[in-house]
Amino acid sequence: MSALLIYKALHIFFMIAWFAGIFYLPRLFVYHAMTEEKSCSAMLKIMERRLLYFVTPFALFTLLFGLLTIYEYGREWFRHSMWLHYKLVLVIILYGYHVYCFKLLNDFKHDRNKKSHRFYRVFNEFPVILLLVIVLLAILKPNL
């Protein structure tokens, strides 16, 4: 069994675990933006914080094993795999999304949220679209 296959498998595993949380967190933000009850808001604050801190290591391991996979393929492969360059741009945007979730979490924590539940419903779809394009690039490997 090669290191490359192990790295790829772990990259995919941690990516799935990360996305499970990154899909659910904005849904919690939707509920939080809709509630006016203090007790419900307090419970959602705890759930949001725990979820984001739980999935953040998965995001880091996804990055680690993705980089190790690229390293195993080699510099020449990386240079000629333009599809991967596009994928990496989308991945950087996705990590920006993840970091922005910390800002939103902090706004809710300090009762400073000004965004509507409609904003969070749209916000919730963003990683779905990114994931679709990333997976298509990774599987189809188009000659760009």
Is 27 in contact with 126 (CB distance < 8 Å)? no
Please give the annotated binding residues, written as ranges: 11, 87
Burial class from Cβ neighbours inside 10 Å (0-12, 13-18, 19+) for residue 104 reads buried
Please give the annotated binding residues for heme, written as ranges: 11, 87
Q: Give the pLDDT confidence score for residue 144 in this predicted structure.
A: 80
With H, G, I as helix, E, B as strand and everything else as coil, classify residue 143: coil
Is 124 in contact with 63 (CB distance < 8 Å)? no
Q: Give the pLDDT confidence score for residue 1 in this predicted structure.
A: 78
Low-confidence ranges of the chain (pLDDT < 50): none
* pTM of the shown model: 0.94
